[in-house]
């Protein structure tokens, strides 16, 4: 029992008073006098609790705070001065670099054959006018010495028979010159022209293109839906998996000089391993173990997408890169539609991949386990299913499908660092339309989105065709949030 319990009431009161006023009673053994009839308390042992060590600690903390404040002020001052000097140097460099801007281009038909002697009229601010004519290679150029908006109009009467603008409203192209010294390339889309094709022929061609686009969206949306169904993660970095697949194919084909038929399988395997296995193991699995919320993981995926997008820009640049082996391939005339052999081959392989993925979900043990995890992860784990292993398999499968979707776009259209970003809106629209977490819904929604995007160009400008997908996304979220094949769930 503590000695303080035997103190008289007066001593206890002194002790309590000392604590209130900031002092404490320190009784050393030499000062304890415990006679049989009572206890004497030596009040000289009452000392301040604010001892020298505490005072010194407070002083040192104050000194550190003062040092931090002074350091912050110095750093802020240095940053301000450096920004001022940087702005001045940039302004001087900009003034020094403001030379003439060159507007240039090449007039050629859909097969890349140059069209010479085509007139182009250029008008701009301050009464600027200039008439040009394409040379024997179809090239033209004009130097601009002032900033502003310039209109370039092609003379359609100079085009040879059988060739015209694919869009008659594009005979005049507007070029905005914001900064001198930066050259701009202007292209006029030349082809058989809408005047030579009936509405039926155009609709049939756009329908075929829409089915191919729907297949590409379906491959990526199926993987995204599987990942969402098993983990609940809405992965905004899913589009960058397409970009990675395209860039890997371009690197292996154009730089390593492998044949495309060999480069594509290697790119798919690398994409599934990097974007599926490694990404889940070293990023998403640790976040799941820490109990990170889905909203926080969504924000992480947005940051990852931005980082990867500009990492690809740093490595490969901002140009659209074509595969040399399949550039400029002539199309096959199948009735009233035209389709290239590379489109037929890549589309057929994509259909095979979707069938195999569906059979994997329905027939294999891992596929059935993934559906069980999607329905109820806790119950699946209690039933003996290794949930983490199932999630890893779904990530690898989803990444492989998205990688091949990027391969299809690269083979047919080329690849750029913005390819995944451009496709991401269509992927989310397809997933939302079909139903989040449903594999069949993703495929149905993808075909609808692909057809709608392409066929909408019959009535709206080509530049606005992706707006239709956004409109569908908004309407579905308002009218039927669960999607076409989704199930209603009670919230709250």
Q: What is the DSSP string of 57-78?
A: HHHHHHHHHHHHHHHHHHHHHH
The reply to whether 445 falls in a domain is yes
User: Which CATH number is 426's domain given?
Assistant: 1.10.3470
Domain boundary among 196, 225, 250: 196
The larger pLDDT score, comparing residue 101 to residue 40, is at 101
Task: Read off the pLDDT of residues 394-432 as tens digits, 9 standing for 90 and up.
Answer: 999 999 999 999 999 999 888 999 999 989 989 998 998
Q: Is the pLDDT of residue 305 over 90?
A: yes
Cα gap 65→51, rounded to integer Å:
22
Residues 235 and 153 in one domain: no
Domain-located, residue 484: no
> Is residue 91 pLDDT above 50, yes or no?
no
pLDDT of amino acid 82: 55
Residues 184 and 214 both lie in one domain: no
For residues 450 and 318, state if they share a domain.
yes
pLDDT band at 95 (very low <50, low <70, confident <90, very high): very low
The rounded mean pLDDT for the chain is 79
Residues 6+ apart with CB under 8 A from 346: 407, 408, 411, 412
C-alpha dist (Å) from residue 73 to 60, 78, 81: 20, 9, 12
In this structure, the answer to whether residues 238 and 367 fall within a common structural domain is yes
Q: Are residues 256 and 346 in the same domain?
A: yes
In this structure, of 134-138, 150-154, 212-216, 487-491, the range with the lowest mean pLDDT score is 487-491
Where in the sequence is the domain holding 446, given as residue range(s)?
199-479
**What does the alpha-carbon distance between residue 173 and residue 164 come to, in Å, rounded to a whole number?**
15
For residue 92, the SS3 value is: helix
**pLDDT at position 94 over 80:** no
Same domain (yes/no): 145, 238: no
Residues 117 and 207 in one domain: no
Task: Answer with the one of 147, 171, 196 that is the final residue of a domain.
Answer: 196
Residue 3 resides in a domain: yes
249 and 302 part of one domain? yes
- Binning pLDDT at 50, 70 and 90, where does residue 476 land? confident
Instruction: Check whether residue 427 and residue 317 sit in a common domain.
Output: yes
Other CB atoms within 10 Å distance of the CB of residue 327: 9
Is residue 79 assigned to a domain?
Answer: no
Beta bridge partners of 104: 141, 185
Q: Looking at the predicted structure, is the pLDDT value of residue 225 above 60?
A: yes
Asked if residue 27 has pLDDT above 50, the reply is no
Q: State the pLDDT at residue 402.
A: 96
Domain-located, residue 85: no
The reported pLDDT for the residue numbered 356 is 95
159 against 242, higher pLDDT:
242
Share above pLDDT 90 across residues of the chain, in percent, rounded to a whole number: 34
Tens digit of each residue's pLDDT (9 = 90 or more) over 335-393:
888 888 889 999 999 999 999 999 999 999 999 999 899 888 888 888 889 999 999 99
Mean pLDDT of 302-316: 93
Mark whether 205 and 314 lie in a shared domain: yes
The total number of structural domains in the chain stands at 3
Note the pTM of the prediction, 2 decimals. Answer: 0.65
Is residue 309 within a helix (H) or strand (E), and if so which, with residue range?
Answer: helix 294-316
Of the candidate ranges 76-90, 231-245, 359-373, the one whose mean pLDDT is the lowest: 76-90
- Per residue in 36-49, pLDDT (tens digit) is 334 444 444 444 44
Q: Are both 232 and 176 inside the same structural domain?
A: no
| Domain assignment present for 78 | no
CATH number at residue 133: 2.60.40.10
Tell me, yes or no, whether 160 and 253 share the same domain. no
Q: Average pLDDT, stretch 90-100?
A: 52
Q: What is the pLDDT averaged over residues 157-161?
A: 80
Whole-number pLDDT of residue 403: 96
In a domain, 178, yes or no: yes
Confidence of residue 241 (pLDDT cuts 50, 70, 90): very high
Please report the beta strands in 314-436, taking only residues with DSSP state E, as ranges in sequence order: 332-334, 337-339
User: pLDDT confidence of 59, banded at 50, 70, 90?
Assistant: low
Q: Quick one: pLDDT at residue 492?
A: 40
51 has pLDDT over 60: no
Q: Where does the pLDDT of residue 487 fall: very low under 50, low under 70, confident under 90, or very high at 90 and above?
A: low
| Sequence-distant (≥ 6) Cβ neighbours of residue 136 within 8 angstroms | 114, 116
Question: 41 is written with which tokens?
Answer: 């308390």
The region of weakest confidence among 140-154, 169-183, 251-265, 472-486 is 169-183
Residue 94 within a domain: no
Q: Given this model, what pLDDT does residue 470 score?
A: 80
Q: Which of 164-173, 347-356, 443-452 has the lowest mean pLDDT?
A: 164-173
Using an 8 Å Cβ cutoff, are 345 and 338 in contact? Answer: no
Q: What was the pLDDT predicted at 44?
A: 43
Find where tokens 């601009």 sit.
144
User: Which is higher by pLDDT, 159 or 215?
Assistant: 215
């Amino acid at each position: 029992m503590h000695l303080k319990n035997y103190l008289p009431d007066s001593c206890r009161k002194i002790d309590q008073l000392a604590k209130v006023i900031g002092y404490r009673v320190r009784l050393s053994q030499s000062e304890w006098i415990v006679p049989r009839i009572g206890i004497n308390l030596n009040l000289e042992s009452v000392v301040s609790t604010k001892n020298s060590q505490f005072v010194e600690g407070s002083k040192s903390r104050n000194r550190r705070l003062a040092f931090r404040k002074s350091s912050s002020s110095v750093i802020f001052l240095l940053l301000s001065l450096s920004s001022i000097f940087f702005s001045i140097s940039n302004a001087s460099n900009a003034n020094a670099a403001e030379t003439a801007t060159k507007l240039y281009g090449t007039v050629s038909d859909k097969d890349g054959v140059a069209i010479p002697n085509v007139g182009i009229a250029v008008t701009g601010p301050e009464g600027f006018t200039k008439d040009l004519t394409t040379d024997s290679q179809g090239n033209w150029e004009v130097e601009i010495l002032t900033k502003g908006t310039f209109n370039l109009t092609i003379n359609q009467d100079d085009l040879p028979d059988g060739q015209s603008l694919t869009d008659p409203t594009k005979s005049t192209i507007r070029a905005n010159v914001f900064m001198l010294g930066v050259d701009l390339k202007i292209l006029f889309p030349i082809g058989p022209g809408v005047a030579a094709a009936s509405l039926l022929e155009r609709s049939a061609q756009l329908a075929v293109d829409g089915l191919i686009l729907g297949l590409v969206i379906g491959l990526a949306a199926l993987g995204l839906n599987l990942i969402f169904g098993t983990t609940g993660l809405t992965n905004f970095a899913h589009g960058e998996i397409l970009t990675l697949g395209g860039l890997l194919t371009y690197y292996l084909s154009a730089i390593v000089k492998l044949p495309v038929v060999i480069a594509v399988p290697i790119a798919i395997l690398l994409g599934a391993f990097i974007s599926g296995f490694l990404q889940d193991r070293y990023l998403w699995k640790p976040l799941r173990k820490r109990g990170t919320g889905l909203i926080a993981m969504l924000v992480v995926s947005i940051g990852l997408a931005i980082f990867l997008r500009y990492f690809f820009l740093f490595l490969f640049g901002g140009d659209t890169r074509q595969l040399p082996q399949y550039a400029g391939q002539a199309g096959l005339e199948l009735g009233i539609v035209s389709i290239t052999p590379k489109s037929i081959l890549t589309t057929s392989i994509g259909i095979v991949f979707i069938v195999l993925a569906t059979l994997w979900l329905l027939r294999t043990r891992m596929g059935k386990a993934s559906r069980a995890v999607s329905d109820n992860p806790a119950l699946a784990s209690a039933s003996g299913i290794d949930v983490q292993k199932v999630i890893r398999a779904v990530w690898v499968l989803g990444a492989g499908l998205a990688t091949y979707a990027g391969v299809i776009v690269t083979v047919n259209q080329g690849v750029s660092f913005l390819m995944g970003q451009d496709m991401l809106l269509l992927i989310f629209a397809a997933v939302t339309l079909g139903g989040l977490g449903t594999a069949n819904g993703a495929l149905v929604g993808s075909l609808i989105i692909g057809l709608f995007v392409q066929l909408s160009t019959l009535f709206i400008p080509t530049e606005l065709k992706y707006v239709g997908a956004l409109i569908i996304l908004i309407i579905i979220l308002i009218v039927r949030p669960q999607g076409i094949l989704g199930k209603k769930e009670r919230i709250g």
